[in-house]
Amino acid sequence: MTGRIALALILATSFAVASVQGQQADALQMFRDGQYNQAVQTTLREIQEMPRNMDAYTVLGWSLLELRRFEEALDHGTRALAISPFDPRIIHIVGTAQFNLGRDIEALRLFEQYAQILPNGSQIGPVYQMMGEIFIRMGEFHHADIALTTAVHHRPNNAIWWSRLGFAREQAEDFAHALAAYDRALQLSPGLQAATQGRSRVQGRLASS
């Protein structure tokens, strides 16, 4: 009898673990399929059942960011950081939420932490891009140049980022390098209006100097 009970407990535990893993896989697939609301509901159930499930918190955060529900992403992400303070996925989620909520100092601190923990992480390009935008907001254009240069190093085919790099250099009055960045943006996306306008401005400044 004891052996049967033990076997039953093992089977029940194995089924429960397989069920949770299946839910995680389903939630991730929902996210990949663009079913963000469904992924949110699934991961919230997973977290209720397993409050320290960082994979569930991650998919939840990604989904909330895609839905632009930044306050909720921040709320759940902050809870996740209390459980696992150095999980780079959660750091990125909370930093992105803070960035979109206009909380630049908090976002910058988290992005710097992400870059230290995972300098070649999958989100390192967007992290440096957002850092660059924060520095532009702050009027620190040389820092913005460094951050956006790093961003396009990791994702060299992003025309919008090249255009923003051109803008940062233009504001820093580094017109020759601004022109090069605008030119690269227009090579990648010939109809990009911001780059076209920026290139025209910079050409005018170079012509008058």
The conformation of residue 155, written as its DSSP 8-state character, comes to: S
> Distance from CA of residue 3 to its chain's centroid?
50
Question: Which class is domain 123-209?
Answer: mainly alpha
Longest dimension (CA), the chain: 94
pLDDT in tens for each of the 209 residues of the chain? 444 444 343 333 333 333 444 445 699 999 999 999 999 999 999 999 999 999 999 999 999 999 999 999 999 999 999 999 999 999 999 999 999 999 999 999 999 999 999 999 999 999 999 999 999 999 999 999 999 999 999 999 999 999 999 999 999 999 999 999 999 999 999 999 999 999 999 999 999 87
| Tokens describing residue 98 | 């803070």
11-102 and 123-209, same CATH topology: yes
Structure-token pair, residue 164: 């923003």
Residue 195 belongs to what H/E stretch? helix 193-208
Options 3.40.50.2300, 3.90.850.10, 1.25.40.10, 3.10.20.30; CATH for 11-102 is 1.25.40.10
Extents of the domains making up the chain: 11-102, 123-209
Q: What is the model's pTM?
A: 0.85
Q: What angle do CA 88, 90, 96 make, to 5 degrees?
A: 100
* Residue owning tokens 């940062």: 168
Question: What is the C-alpha separation between 83 and 90, in angstroms, rounded?
Answer: 10
